[in-house]
């Protein structure tokens, strides 16, 4: 596969890299400790065109293709905090694509354009206390009442949830219809009846906020319904594809940074009279990890290529073949990056277990990848179905 990146993509990549290295990374220790980062990060990312590079100009984007988003996802890990990186990817590739695909001109102007400028923080509210992988069994209900919907229920694990300017929320409009009874809504953060519950304390991604949300008699005007009633599950399955592919390319890039750090450490650290890098054991281990990571990158790029061809060139829904590739990529990347993280920490010995070394945070943070946005086992179950088993 020839490189999909043109000079324009590479220029954009440099913008994201500089933003991460100069403006974000110096705050890593503080933001991880505080379990939060300031809102200006969203505004600045918007100002630099980071959220909108792959969105059409009519909605406030730069009109680029999907490879701009891939380039961004590969550079964000350089900020050194998977929490910040994830929060920004939720804004650009997880919460907002649904608005782009389904939103009316008014909805795009009110929600999508300010989100791309980084002025409104977006959150995707799908998971619930009793329904994560099995989205069709969500229990939040939206009942039509005149010109409004009245929504009751709860969500959990919602990234950007404590400070979201708006939610892209999935609820049941026909509770008896399972997957065929779900509908998306736009919910402004100050809507009466929306209550932010506990902020969850996590083992990793400390800098991002992850919230429980409660909805009690929450009234949302019908004009904030996204797309058709009861079609939300189908839309969500489409939306998952951008979320998963971008998570893959970001995780692979994170893995490459871990290997880079491990090599630097191995050059420096001596045991039994010589640097670790001169031990054949570690040389071969690092070679094998690099090979696996490159294979993971190649598979992720196949998924990204399918996504770009379907959505950007052919302007159609993501095909089953692309969905399969993206799901396979997420399964494979998860296993590879976990192994990379574990071995790179091992190479650091006891120092890998100490907070001062970035590998400690990277090892913790990467663990989410095999769970969030489609757990590895759920994806295997899903691909098996796609393969007709």
Ligand X SMILES: Cc1cc2nc3c(=O)[nH]c(=O)nc-3n(C[C@H](O)[C@H](O)[C@H](O)COP(=O)(O)OP(=O)(O)OC[C@H]3O[C@@H](n4cnc5c(N)ncnc54)[C@H](O)[C@@H]3O)c2cc1C
* Alpha-carbon span 283 to 154, nearest angstrom: 50
CB of 127 to ligand X, least distance (A): 3
| Residues 37, 30 contacting (CB under 8 angstroms) | no
Find the helix packing angle between 66-75 and 280-307, rounded to 10°: 150
CB of 116 to ligand X, least distance (A): 18
CB of 334 to ligand X, least distance (A): 11
CA 69 to chain centre: 11
| Residues 258, 340 contacting (CB under 8 angstroms) | yes
Measured from the CB atom, is 71 or 126 closer to ligand X?
126
* Alpha-carbon span 193 to 190, nearest angstrom: 9
Out of 109, 243, 278, 305, which one is annotated catalytic? Answer: 243
For residue 255, the surrounding DSSP H or E stretch is helix 232-268
Measured from the CB atom, is 43 or 364 closer to ligand X?
364
Contact residues for ligand X (CB under 6 A)?
Answer: 90, 124-127, 132-134, 157-159, 202, 205, 210, 368, 371-373, 375, 377-378, 381
CA-closest candidate to residue 205, choices 243, 251, 241: 251
Measured from the CB atom, is 90 or 293 closer to ligand X?
90
Measured from the CB atom, is 215 or 282 closer to ligand X?
215
At 166, list the tokens.
């708006």
Give the helix, strand, coil percentages of the chain, each rounded to 5: 60, 15, 25
At 261, list the tokens.
């750090």
Has 321 been annotated as catalytic? no
CB of 382 to ligand X, least distance (A): 8
CB of 69 to ligand X, least distance (A): 17
- Residue with nearest beta carbon to ligand X: 132
Measured from the CB atom, is 62 or 375 closer to ligand X?
375
How do strand 166-172 and strand 122-125 relate by DSSP bridges? parallel
* Alpha-carbon span 163 to 165, nearest angstrom: 6
Measured from the CB atom, is 245 or 262 closer to ligand X?
245
In three state form, how does the secondary structure of 101-119 look?
HHCCHHHHHHHHHHHHCCC
Write phi, then psi, for 190 (nearest 5 degrees): -100, 20
For residue 143, the surrounding DSSP H or E stretch is strand 141-145
For residue 37, what are the contacts with CB-CB under 8 A and spacing of at least 6? Answer: 27, 31, 81, 83, 84, 87, 207, 208
Any idea which residues carry the catalytic annotation? 243
């Amino acid at each position: 596969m020839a490189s999909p990146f043109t000079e324009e993509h590479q220029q954009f990549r440099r913008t994201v890299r500089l933003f991460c290295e100069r403006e974000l990374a110096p705050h890593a220790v503080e933001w991880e400790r505080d379990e939060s980062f300031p809102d200006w990060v969203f505004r600045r990312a918007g100002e630099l065109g980071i959220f909108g590079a792959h969105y059409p100009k009519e909605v406030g984007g730069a009109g680029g293709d999907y490879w701009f988003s891939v380039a961004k996802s590969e550079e964000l890990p350089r900020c050194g905090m998977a929490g910040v990186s994830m929060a920004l990817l939720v804004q650009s590739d997880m919460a907002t694509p649904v608005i782009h695909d389904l939103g009316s001109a008014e909805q795009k102007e009110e929600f999508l354009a300010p989100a791309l400028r980084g002025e409104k923080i977006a959150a995707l509210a799908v998971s619930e206390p009793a329904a994560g992988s099995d989205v069709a069994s969500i229990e939040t209900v939206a009942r039509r009442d005149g010109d409004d919907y009245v929504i009751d229920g709860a969500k959990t694990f919602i990234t950007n949830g404590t400070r979201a300017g708006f939610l892209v929320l999935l609820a049941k409009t026909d509770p008896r219809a399972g997957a065929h009874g779900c509908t998306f809504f736009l919910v402004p953060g100050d809507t009466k009846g929306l209550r932010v519950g506990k902020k969850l304390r996590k083992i990793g991604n400390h800098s991002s906020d992850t919230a429980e949300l409660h909805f009690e008699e929450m009234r949302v005007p019908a004009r904030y319904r996204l797309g058709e009633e009861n079609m939300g599950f189908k839309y969500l399955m489409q939306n998952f594809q951008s979320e998963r592919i971008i998570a893959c390319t970001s995780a692979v890039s994170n893995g490459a940074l871990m290997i880079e750090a491990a090599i630097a450490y191995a050059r420096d650290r001596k045991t039994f009279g010589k640097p670790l890098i001169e031990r054949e054991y570690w040389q071969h281990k690092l070679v094998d990890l690099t090979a696996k990571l490159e294979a993971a990158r190649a598979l992720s790029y196949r998924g990204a290529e399918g996504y770009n061809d379907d959505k950007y060139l052919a302007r159609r829904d993501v095909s089953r073949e692309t969905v399969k590739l993206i799901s396979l990529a997420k399964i494979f990347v998860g296993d590879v990056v976990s192994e990379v993280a574990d071995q790179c920490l091992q190479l650091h010995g006891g120092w890998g277990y100490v907070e001062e070394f970035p590998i400690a945070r990277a090892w913790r943070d990467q663990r989410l990848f095999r769970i969030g946005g489609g757990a590895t086992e759920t994806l295997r179950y899903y691909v098996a179905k796609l393969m007709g088993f």
